[in-house]
Structure 1
Amino acid sequence: MSTYEWLLFDLDGTLSDPAEGFVNSMNHALQFYNYAPRPAAQLTPHIGPPLEVTLAHLTGSADSTHVRALVDKYRERYGETGYAENTLYPGITDMLQQLSSIDGIRLGVCTSKRADFASRILEQFELHHYFEFVSGGDVGVAKWQQLGKLLEEKRIGQRTLMIGDRHFDLSAAARNGLPSAGVLWGYGSKEELDQHTPAYLFHHPSEILNIF
């Protein structure tokens, strides 16, 4: 029997690179509310955390209603075109294909991105059939709460490995008593991930297969 029953993947920075759509949609929201647009280099480090956290930080606003309006404006553009401005990391399709052929291993997605956007991205890259479910986030819901709900509803069990590129993914797993793995092709540094003592650190998607 494998150590794990479930492999639970983050999306942004783990399966695909959302940088172009993220930057364009973020600046769409900022400019609509008369904030100066930001260069990509200032925005891409914010890929991963919930949108409301990023937009509150970028604007310095503590007004939850205003931040929600910014999130809605971001999603307006993202839902039209931003989701398609996305690039699949090399090796992801082959890795998922091989994982899906291993008996007893089940795959899911747990992302801070809204579930419908995440599903459209997976469909765009013809990856959706590899996953049994997509858990998406919403304003005010942290990733650790998403994982907790999946456990509570028995959609996953304790033999679940959370795989992601940012500390939010790893700390969410730890808070729920789950092991985690960090990937180094996304937006989190080795130093950031090491702080959360992941069971594995992967440099390339193919390395995930080495678990088995």
Structure 2
Amino acid sequence: MNQIIIFDFDGTLADTLDAVVRITNRLSGEFGYLPTNPETLSQIQNLSSWQIIQQSGISLFKLPFLLKRVISELNQDLQLIHLFPTIPEIIQQLQKKNYTLYIITSNSKINVITILSRYNLVNSFKNVYSGISLFGKHKIINQLLNQENIEPQQVIYIGDETRDINAAKQAKIKSIAVSWGYNSAEILLQHHPDALIAHPSELIAVIEQIKNPIG
């Protein structure tokens, strides 16, 4: 059975947190929420995605428009955004092990491809699925599975936020949470991923363990 790895992009493969904080702080007055400072950022990372929205006080009506603006302005900051250290090498190793790789992201496809191209990794991924939705990632996962004729048991999904774990559960696929992105290890564990890792160097071993469980 062909093994499928689906990656989230922002906070999982690419270090976009600083850029997103700068952009959302710049837009805070326009959209009606408080800007973030280093102290509040560490607090926010211990909240689930839904708790962050509730605490910010932003109108749910405005949220899709904010997401579109953030993605649009990220396009202007792409030169400041890089993949996390060792991620390019890990992607290449997964390819050599004959995993089929995809990306699902709330970012734009052009932003993702622009960053991947810097590392000559565009062709490492069979496809990039993009959708501007905070809580609809399971729908994008299901769209990918349907369009690519993939069974859920073939798939491991890797993300850095509680909503990634929840989306994987809704799509009935395995999940690996990573703690180097937007959410802390503590809040990720509360949402019960199939595995939690703290460094990219752990990724391949944990994928192999999930694929071939002992006992």
TM-score range, shorter chain: 0.7 to 0.9
Q: Gaps (5+ residues) in structure 1? A: none
Q: 8 Å contact 2:162–2:191 — kept in the other structure?
A: yes
Show CA shifts across 1:157-181 (max 9, x none). Answer: 3201001111111111111111111
Q: 8 Å contact 1:28–1:77 — kept in the other structure?
A: no
- Tell me the distance in 2 between the aligned counterparts of 1:140 and 1:22: 15
Q: CA RMSD in A?
A: 3.0
Matching residue's letter, 2:155 = T
- Tell me the distance in 2 between the aligned counterparts of 1:71 and 1:163: 21
- Tell me the distance in 1 between the aligned counterparts of 2:143 and 2:115: 23
- With the length of structure 2 as denominator, give the TM-score of the two structures: 0.79
**Matched residue, 2:74:** 78
Q: 8 Å contact 1:161–1:181 — kept in the other structure?
A: yes
Show CA shifts across 1:70-120 (max 9, x none). Answer: 334333422222x332232121111111111113x1011112222222222
How far apart are 1:56 and its partner, in Å? 7.5
Distance 1:55 1:78, change over 3 A: farther
Number of equivalent positions = 204
Q: Work out whether 1:115 is the aligned partner of 2:129.
A: no
Equivalent of 2:84 in 78, 81, 89: 89
Q: 8 Å contact 2:135–2:163 — kept in the other structure?
A: no
Instruction: Give percent identity, aligned residues only.
Output: 28
Distance 1:195 1:134, change over 3 A: same
**Matched residue, 1:179:** 174
**Matched residue, 1:145:** 139
Show CA shifts across 1:110-155 (max 9, x none). Answer: 1222222222222234322211111112147611111111122235
Distance 1:140 1:9, change over 3 A: closer
Q: Work out whether 1:24 is the aligned partner of 2:39.
A: no
How far apart are 1:35 and its partner, in Å? 5.8
- Tell me the distance in 2 between the aligned counterparts of 1:54 and 1:141: 13
- With the length of structure 1 as denominator, give the TM-score of the two structures: 0.80
Q: 8 Å contact 1:35–1:59 — kept in the other structure?
A: yes
